[in-house]
Structure 1
């Protein structure tokens, strides 16, 4: 169905439940959902490991979520980082935002300059969400790697076997040496707040990337550290009905898209509507398969299920509504993005000249 480097097709609710059982996770209970107090729990963020236990830690806890950027961020990424900010705002969680940009050089045929430029662009999007600089750390592996994190990666690597990494990720003999080491670096990202500050970590993460959390949970006790927990998210469908992918622009609205691009992409979105307006008014639409319906509900809390099924709203009506709301959201986001670029050093002094250093690369 999917792995850390390949995700194909949609996933049914039955498959989600099976995966949770196979992964040794638990569905988020009503009690935990009430405690988390977020509108996308449990519909999107639906399963977990040890979240309640970690939130009860007497010294507090941390939340980590990063990016392995090869392209610009799209709107599904925004959902995850807004969720991370929710933990900071509501529970005072320390937030660590590591960039796995080194992995992109190891796993894909990309140039250093391109990956670093994408890291910078993604960084602006991430920080535009409004994290508290006093309770947030940011790290780009290729530009601002912390010595503590590298040391932790070496320690993790000394406690992992090649056979474990290969079994977990399906690596083969023809793959480079670096990609075999990378799970240790990912574990270091996850365990850094625990090692450095004594804070257990929660990782909001997609099912395809959960293998890295499982590897970190396996190695943590060997390093004398508390196991990290995670919150698993479902996949948000792409505009065309399949997987949303940064490498397929037609499937996603990007954070940098302008009004014309947003209108065009949403105008071509899959709805599963009937061939004619007359038929749809008579028989109604099918919100269960409609991407536009899902986006209205997920991003804006607008539920038009009844109007869709009754035929009161046609696909064009919902597309117009979504276009207006999405354009407004991105306009606000892009404004905040521009402000952040002028104040990166608030998060770390070494970020102040990051753009100049990246542009200097040939």
Structure 2
């Protein structure tokens, strides 16, 4: 079982792919995190690819917990958000001030200060273009939708997914529903309606992704399925399905599809379809459905990134300050932390030269692998370490210079970024 609230988990990524049905992200996007397999898995990425190829609007969504510092580990989701924004995504970012208040006692005023100064200013300095950033406590859409979504699950399901017990707090019951509302509300009619929505996460958040995808599926009226290499559409509900079937046949005919109806089975069967038509047909029908269903959502897509190792080994965590580099650290502080990091090197220089190091288990090498976009450079660092050419001290110094340079640029841009907040923060909804 994956626990999204644990701070000390280690993952066998291949095992997770097999056990939880996570799909591989092969050949989707030419981006360094995909090329280096830092993004090791995905759910529903084919909807995103279809939208981009067909110039259909899509969303990118992430959130932040305003209770600590932004660090290199949680920078990775924003790197992806900025990339997807460059492909045309409308970006939404939730500030989880309700959750930070409930779990960590951070007041709303303090949460706002942390969110703006520790996170949002850095997002803008990193290159995030104007988007929609909101606070949970001020967003009526999220709050009201969470009530609707809560009717689509029950305690037995939450116990199975999260390992909750009868003594679990109500907060742990509510939290996944609120997170689902954060993601799904971006598809409400007044925000543009149903769209593919990409959510970059660490694999520890997969339980949340699975739940919100299941809830979105339950709320649909048209259920598009692959049967015998053809596409079938079933109408959910207890009402007479004839009008919905006839309308679906009509709109599909307008798009070149021939269908047979079976009213008794609440179904239509698309004769000239194939497996490859599933996404196109579902996208056609979800837009039609949104006219009669306020909660017609496309199941959100997700990318799963490998968790960056802390400088002391294990998970990068705010509870272990020297395990991470904050984006607000000075260059001197970052250098100190890197110089004291554990490595994959040998015990002596002689052994390092003779046998080479092991960059595959080295947190210092990950600073190159996760935070440099130059593939040739990263490959050279890797090969020099494996070949015994690169020594750990020099490698740390080079990594420190790279990271310090990045932090310096962010610091220099911060004041100017803060002046642009009005282009990002959305007003309280009611």
**TM-score, with normalisation over the residues of structure 2?**
0.74
Residues 162 and 333 of structure 1, relative CA distance in 2, 3 Å threshold: same
Instruction: From the CA coordinates, give the structure whose radius of gyration is larger.
Output: 2
Structure 1 residue 214 corresponds to structure 2 residue 210 = yes
2:409 is aligned with 1:332: yes
Q: Which residue of 1 aligns with 2:303?
A: 231
Unpaired stretches in structure 2, ≥5 consecutive residues = 220-295
Question: Take 2:108 and 2:207, find their aligned partners in 1: how far apart are those partners?
Answer: 26
Shift of 1:244: 0.6
Q: What is the match of residue 347 of structure 2?
A: 275
Alignment-derived partner of residue 79 in structure 1: 76
**Does structure 1 conserve the Cα–Cα contact (< 8 Å) formed by 2:66 and 2:114?**
yes
Matched, 1:150 2:143: yes
Superposed displacement of residue 179, structure 1: 3.3
Quick one: which of 318, 337, 344 aligns to 2:421? 344
Looking at structure 1, the residues matched to 139 and 106 of structure 2 have their Cα atoms a distance apart, in angstroms, of: 23
What per-residue deviation string (whole Å, max 9, x for no partner) do you get for residues 185-207 of structure 1? 11111112222312221111111
1:277-327 deviation digits (Å, cap 9, x = unpaired): 233223322222221122112212423122222322210110010010000
Q: Which moved more, 1:274-283 or 1:45-54?
A: 274-283
Aligned residues: 339
Q: Cα distance, 1:2 vs. partner?
A: 4.3
Q: 2:42 is paired with a residue of what secondary structure? A: strand
Distance in 2 (alpha carbons) for counterparts of 1:94 and 1:226: 15
2:21 equivalent to 1:24: yes
**Is contact 2:309–2:316 with CA below 8 Å preserved after alignment?**
yes
Query: Structure 1 residues 193 and 349, CA, compared in 2 at 3 Å: closer, same or farther?
Result: closer
Contact in 2 for aligned 1:106/1:176 (Cα 8 Å)? no
Q: Distance in 1 between matches of 2:31 and 2:400?
A: 24
The equivalent of 2:383 in structure 1 is 306
Give the whole-Å Cα distance in 2 for the aligned partners of 1:293 and 1:313.
Answer: 11
Shift of 1:110: 4.7
Over residues 147-189 of structure 1, what are the superposed CA-to-partner deviations in whole Å (9 max), with x where a residue is unaligned?
2222211111122212222332223333433332222211111
The CA distance in 1 between the partners of 2:308 and 2:2, in whole Å, is 14
CA contact 1:63–1:84 (8 Å) conserved in 2:
yes
SS at match of 1:305: helix
Paired position in structure 2 for 1:123: 120
**Unpaired segments ≥5 residues, structure 1:** 352-362
Give, in whole Å, the separation in 1 of the partners of 2:83 and 2:214. Answer: 28
Write out aligned runs for 1:147-226 (5 A).
147-195=140-188, 196-198=191-193, 199-223=195-219, 224-226=296-298
- 1:47 to partner: Cα distance: 1.1
Q: CA deviation at 1:218?
A: 1.0
Give 1:9 deviation, angstroms.
4.5
Does structure 1 conserve the Cα–Cα contact (< 8 Å) formed by 2:201 and 2:305? yes
Query: Which residue in 1 is equivalent to 2:42?
Result: 48
TM-score by length of 1: 0.87
Correspondence 1:6 to 2:6:
yes
Write the distance in 1 (CA, Å) between the matches of 2:307 and 2:31.
18
Alpha carbons 1:54, 1:61 under 8 Å: kept: yes
The answer to whether the Cα contact below 8 Å between 1:106 and 1:179 also exists between their aligned partners in 2 is no
Structure-1 separation of matches of 2:2 and 2:323: 18
